[in-house]
Amino acid sequence: MLYLRDLIYHPTACPAPILKSIDLELPPQQLGLIVGPSGSGKSTLLEILSGLVQPTSGTICWREQQLVPEQLNQLAGLVFQFPERHFCCSKILEELRLGHPELGTERVKQALSEVGLDHLSLSTPPHALSGGQQRRLALAVQLIRQPHVLLLDEPTAGLDWSIRQQLVSLLAKLKKDWTLLIVTHDPGEILAFADKCWTIIQGELETIDPTTLEKKIQAPLTAA
């Protein structure tokens, strides 16, 4: 279980906190979904959870253990928004092993299999993959490290409708083995697979039932 208690992020240069007393609980093998508009603090929260940014105060616990930033790096696997822009190797194999040269071919194949890319040659350049395949590879790059929590920032942004559906189905499948926390301004089809939902507005996180959130999102369309 991932626990956040009274997590605050208030850089001294900012007049108001960017994250205001965040409390969150996410059980293992569940898909948590945080929905909020641009600038609400979604990416900042994921950066804190992955140890890239130090919070001003508050605690982050995995099971009963409180974690410091160095441990968060191992706890979480962060898939950035548009992760394909961060590929830097000329072969899939190198991309997956980047920073972990000790990982054997078996682990590499297992990670690719989890995201449905095991049919590809390990020497394929990441940049030669289709948009959907690149998103899958970015997931495999994190899964190969076997993080406790997979953090995804706008995982379906910029994808065509059918590719988007395929990626959402993959995320729904992954939650059988992994714990996922997704942040987005546009939950779309992910909502149907969410176990827990929150809204975030100006750094304030609030729990919301997935069905209520779905109705809330559809309301303006229905009224029009």
Ligand X SMILES: Nc1ncnc2c1ncn2[C@@H]1O[C@H](COP(=O)(O)OP(=O)(O)OP(=O)(O)O)[C@@H](O)[C@H]1O
Contact pick of 12, 15, 16, 38 for ligand X (by CB under 6 A) = 38
Quickly tell me which residue has 């000790």 as its tokens.
102
- 12 in contact with ligand X (CB under 6 A): no
* 199 binding ligand X? (CB under 6 A): no
Q: Provide the edge-to-edge strand list for the sheet that holds 57-62.
A: 19-26, 2-9, 57-62, 65-66
Say which entry of ligand X, Mg ion, none residue 142 contacts (CB below 5 to 8 A, set by partner kind).
Answer: none
Q: Should residue 131 be labelled a site residue for ligand X when binding is judged by CB under 6 A?
A: no
Distance CA 218, CA 224 (A): 10
Which residues does 66 contact at the CB level (< 8 Å), separation at least 6?
A: 59, 60
184 touches Mg ion (CB under 5 A): no
Rounded Cα distance, 211 and 224, in Å: 21
What would you report as the CA-atom Rg of the chain, rounded to the nearest whole angstrom?
A: 18
> Residue 130 phi/psi, 5° resolution?
-70, 170
If one asks whether residue 134 binds Mg ion (CB under 5 A), the answer comes out as no
By CB under 6 A, residue 185 contacts ligand X: yes
Position 43 contacts Mg ion (CB under 5 A): yes
In the chain, the amino acid numbered 121 is: S
Q: Which stretch binds Mg ion (CB under 5 A): 42-50, 70-78, 89-97, 141-149?
A: 42-50
Q: Can residue 36 be called a binding residue for ligand X (CB under 6 A)?
A: yes
> How far does the chain reach from its first CA to its final CA, in angstroms?
41
How far apart CA 193 and CA 184 sit, in angstroms, is: 14
Q: Using CB under 6 A, count the residues that bind ligand X.
A: 13
> Is 50 among the residues that bind ligand X (CB under 6 A)?
no
Which among Mg ion, ligand X, none contacts residue 126 (Cβ within 5 to 8 A by kind)? none
Q: Specify the stretch interacting with ligand X by CB under 6 A; choose among 11-19, 57-65, 119-127, 174-182.
A: 11-19
Q: How far is the CB of 130 from Mg ion (least distance, A)?
A: 24
* Stretch binding ligand X (CB under 6 A), from 6-14, 54-62, 102-110, 138-146: 6-14
Tokens 């990670």 correspond to 111
Instruction: Say what angle helices 105-114 and 131-143 make with each other, to 10 degrees.
Output: 130
Residue 55: which of ligand X, Mg ion, none does it interact with, CB under 5 to 8 A by kind?
none
Any idea how long the chain is? 224
Binding residues for ligand X (CB under 6 A): 11, 13-14, 18, 36, 38-44, 185
Binding residues for Mg ion (CB under 5 A): 42-43
